[in-house]
Structure 1
């Protein structure tokens, strides 16, 4: 009997070591799989862009860059892109700041409605803003045709205004978060020292939100300088770098020169992202454990003025989809305004197939995207392997890559017989992977943030009870995380339904998607059919949001409380 006791401990230790070895093996395997996918569907396409830009008839070199930079047209396009992006970014941030201030620091009524209305551009392809502006202010727009005005919305001002409307929601979300919290003690001190509201705004509110303003400027500038849809629909003879890539690749077949412009277009997006990260990293907390939350005091005149401003902005954001919806329900805009469902029969090339392709692609993107983003976040946050650092960097890299550049990279990388995955080219599967990695950074950051807010004590308790990493995930982490993952799935679905620039180079007659159909119909003057497609896209996205909201409500997770 005395000899049996010593053998028990080694067996227990052996099982413990076996469990640890198994967990480490799973961690390494998952890390390797995530790294492999990122290398194939992210690093390889970006590398293909860089390599193709250096590919000249004389061999690798800078000849394509020299040829492009020697063309005066390139510098005109660069000036056009920067000037229109700076203007639209300035307008979007300025207008969104006042709107966010009204919702966060005043008592204007109907705040939930005011919030959801300015989010509507997120539910539709970017070019819907240009569509709506043309239907309102174009040559055959409502103001010119029915009210006798003579607006000329085409060109620089049209693109700037469309991009302002397109980027406004992004600026509003950032600035609303920046204005959401404040320390009441600072405002009380300023008031006691005799400062008037205007001076308090200049010396207290603005400095406290300067990092949010900087982040909003860089985000809106990056979105505007890389936007393709608005510029091609409403730009007329006014071209930008994004439309030039399209012309070089689709119109002229000059992939090398298109790659050069892609590299150039990548530069301002990367620079703005780096500046945003640098400035955001210097931001200090506005609320501490001794802070007193700021409460909004009654001020009738302030609320009346800000309420009027919000009403004007809301009317603009309702007018855009409203006029597009109107055009979809009339026989022939603007010549025959009789009510009709004709255009919802989709009696155009491919019929409703692009719409169903979009729904299928969006659902598949949501499922695959949630899986990849979740596993990537767990690998980086929960596992400590040699790949954790590189994976963390690669996971957020897509946030600095314009959609059109990444899409062109997919063409160059996968439309290559030397690539074993060449068989994916021309398939919906490749489009799905493109959407997943184009939107991977935001999904990864959301999931990582939620994982950090779940106490490590849950993992420790599960491990002590003998649970491995997989059992801990399915039994502990997933039940706590599922509302967040559902939200991430909605994000992927929505982006796959409305994204245009990322997929424009990968479309074939068999893989046509709805957002591209809107562009092609608008480009050939089929205004009514383009409007009908746009409304269907918006309806599907809004229906998805409502379904998910209902699921969360039924599950008692209407507002998700994350455990710290």
Structure 2
């Protein structure tokens, strides 16, 4: 028993030390840089930022475009979830809607901008078909559409998961009581989903507000706070102190979002029973909803098909003959292949180490009595509020003179911390469902703690672990905001290499690399889905 307690305490201390070194100290150091000038405590840097009209405009531009995109994203995510969970439709239609809604998460955000340019730009596909378009895709319009595409999968996952816990019998009862359609919709659906909808909105807003990829590719002259921070840090004359101030300002919306979610938590509705058999047949309602959902899903598909068209043409849009020469040239380009291999290594390492750290953190929180485990739980949830660019900048400054600067290791650790919350919550939820009497039995049999883990807990956590590894791998392949400040010439990832290629107008190569990422993620999802299906069938 004593050995078990000591092993748990040592494990808890290691996880806590990891967060101290790779979360709190870098953020505190970044905060300190914003308040000091030549060793003196001052507000000089804050004064400079707040009196710089360009930066203030960029901040308000980000707030406006991110909030408007988040509203539309949340509405679309709700509609797509409603189509799948609240209508009668064939399984293949539901599968199509779900797959197309989630497809954008398999491609780096920076690619979205180039896809939109080739579709809606001055020489784009639609311009050649329809003539001059009534709007320009560059700047604000491109950001708005790009942010919606980017944040839709995350918002959909939150709302769709919540729909699983809506009891359809309340809808049936409301129908029997002859409630009006609006009243029925509000009380049986909208009201129970108020908190998940709020979560989806806040997450969509924060993702848009802090994203670098989309503004970097299609932002044009419409300045936003993420590109302003990038230019300030990696410009001709780096201004780290002012960059630290901007980073602190970018944390404010995240904190306000956390406060907002805490405030609406009291509106949360817990439904104990889950019943999906009471939905009445509504022929025209269901057909109409599914028709629009399929239309939205098809629009998403058509947008991303551009990525698969351009690389196979001689010289789009001037020579449209089919060719494989661009694919062959990329395969022969050793630099691009090395970058792709490095991305694969980072994704695998992130999936492996991230799964161990997140699972162990959840294990300490749920299956032990170690003092401080609730603090670890709070830390694990806080990581979700730290934007990737801020985390990357804090690492750049804090580890400036360390041996891990400019290595793939620091890139891996930054991705693990940046995406830690979701895998942790997945592991925590699964561990809470396991029978706690197993731990008591293990203690009575005088098993050591690691024996309990490997003999009892892990065999019953296979599905969750595969899902966690899948989540980490995909996000490591597509992330750019979290690593843009950390890569060097020798540690480029595919997503950051795309950012470099745009300066040389190598858009065909950009699409080919994006296709590589997409196909890699599809393969990983397919393999993990097949493995999960095998485990479920076997179990």
After TM superposition, the score normalised by the length of structure 1 is 0.91
d(CA) in 1 for partners of 2:405, 2:301:
39
User: In structure 1, what is the Cα distance between the partners aligned to 2:497 and 2:511?
Assistant: 10
Q: Does 1:475 align with 2:455?
A: yes
**1:7 corresponds to which residue?**
none
Distance 2:8 2:226 in 1: 41
Counterpart of 1:106 in structure 2 is: 87
SS at match of 2:461: helix
SS in 2 for 1:107: coil
Name 1:458's counterpart in structure 2: 438
Q: For 1:285 and 1:514, how far apart are their aligned partners in 2?
A: 43
Task: Judge conservation of contact 1:328–1:528 (CA < 8 Å) in 2.
Answer: yes
What residue in structure 2 maps to residue 26 of structure 1? Answer: 7
| Counterpart pick for 1:283 among 255, 268, 275 | 268
Distance 1:427 1:212 in 2: 38
**2:295 paired with 1:312:** yes
The whole-number CA distance in structure 1 between the counterparts of 2:276 and 2:261 is: 27
Matched, 1:65 2:50: no
Q: Deviation of residue 54 (structure 1)?
A: 1.4
- Aligned partner (choices 526, 532, 536) of residue 546 of structure 1: 526
Q: Which whole-Å deviations, capped at 9, do the CAs of 1:84-116 have from their partners, x for residues lacking one?
A: 011100110111211211111111331112111
Structure 1 stretch 308-317 or stretch 170-179: which is displaced more? Answer: 170-179
The aligned residue for residue 431 of structure 1 is: 411
1:147-546 equivalent positions in 2, closer than 5 A: 147-150=130-133, 151-251=135-235, 252-280=237-265, 282-288=267-273, 293=276, 295-344=278-327, 345-346=329-330, 350-416=335-401, 422-546=402-526
Report the Cα distance in structure 1 between the residues aligned to 2:195 and 2:385, rounded to whole angstroms.
Answer: 19
1:484-539 alpha-carbon deviations (Å, 9 max, x no partner)? 11110111111100001100011111101001112222343211111111010011
| Partners of 1:182 and 1:287 within 8 A in 2 | no
Asked if structure 1 preserves the Cα contact closer than 8 Å seen for 2:122 and 2:132, the reply is no
For structure 1, the 5+ residue unaligned runs are 1-19, 417-421
Listed one character per residue, the Cα deviations across residues 188-226 of structure 1 (whole Å, up to 9, x for unaligned) are: 343233334344224432222222221111111111111
Task: Choose 1 or 2 for highest CA Rg.
Answer: 1
- List per-residue Cα deviations over 1:145-186 (Å, max 9, x = no partner): 343133411111110111011111111112222333333443
RMSD: 1.8
Counterpart residue number, 2:535: 555
Instruction: Number of aligned residue pairs: give it.
Output: 533
Q: 1:426-448 CA distances to partner (integer Å, 9 max, x unpaired)?
A: 11111111111111111111111
Of the structure 1 ranges 507-516 and 381-390, higher mean CA displacement relative to structure 2 is found in 381-390
User: 1:131: how far off?
Assistant: 2.2
- Per-residue CA deviations over 1:103-134 (Å, capped at 9, x if unaligned) read 11111331112111110111111123222211
C-alpha distance in 2, partners of 1:365/1:183? 38
- Any conservation in 2 of the 1:517–1:533 contact (CA below 8 Å)? no
Q: CA deviation at 1:187?
A: 2.5
Contact 1:119–1:169 (8 Å) recurs in 2: yes
Q: Distance in 2 between matches of 1:214 and 1:337?
A: 46
Q: 8 Å contact 2:80–2:97 — kept in the other structure?
A: no
* Structure 2 contact 366–431 (Cα < 8 Å) conserved: yes
CA distance in 2 between counterparts of 1:426 and 1:287 reads: 51
Q: CA contact under 8 A between 1:155 and 1:234: conserved in structure 2? A: yes
How far does residue 293 in structure 1 lie from its aligned partner after superposition?
4.6
* In 1, Cα distance between equivalents of 2:120 and 2:153: 22
Change in Cα spacing, 1:292 to 1:142, as seen in structure 2 (3 Å) is closer
State the distance in 1 between where 2:70 and 2:51 align.
Answer: 29
The question of whether the paired residues in 2 share the 8 Å contact of 1:486 and 1:548 is answered with: yes
Deviation larger for 326-335 or 93-102: 326-335
Flag the 1:184–1:94 CA change in 2: closer, same or farther, 3 A.
closer
Cα distance between partner residues in 2 of 1:474 and 1:278: 40
Cα contact 2:192–2:269 (8 A) shared by 1 = no
Instruction: Work out the CA distance in 1 between the residues paired with 2:79 and 2:368.
Output: 43
Question: Secondary structure at the residue paired with 1:331?
Answer: strand
Deviation track 1:351-377 (CA, whole Å, cap 9, x = no partner) reads 211111000000011111111111111
Q: Which deviates the most, 496-505 or 68-77?
A: 68-77
3-state SS in 2 of match to 1:337: strand
The answer to whether the aligner puts 1:42 opposite 2:23 as a matched pair is: yes
Which consecutive unaligned segments of at least 5 residues does structure 2 have?
none
Matching residue of 1:4:
none
> Do the aligned partners of 1:108 and 1:306 also contact (CA within 8 Å) in 2?
no
**Alpha-carbon deviations, 1:441-463, whole Å to 9, x = none?**
11111111111110111111122
* Residue 33 of structure 1: how far off its partner (Å): 1.0
Please give the secondary structure, in 1, of the residue aligned with 2:336: coil
Conservation of the 8 A alpha-carbon contact between 2:171 and 2:279: no
Shift in Å at residue 306 of structure 1?
0.9
2:66 corresponding residue in structure 1: 85
User: 1:73-92, CA deviations, whole angstroms, 9 ceiling, x for partnerless residues?
Assistant: 12211110010011100110
Post-superposition offset of 1:551: 2.1
TM-score by length of structure 2 reads: 0.95
| Structure 2 match to 1:11 | none
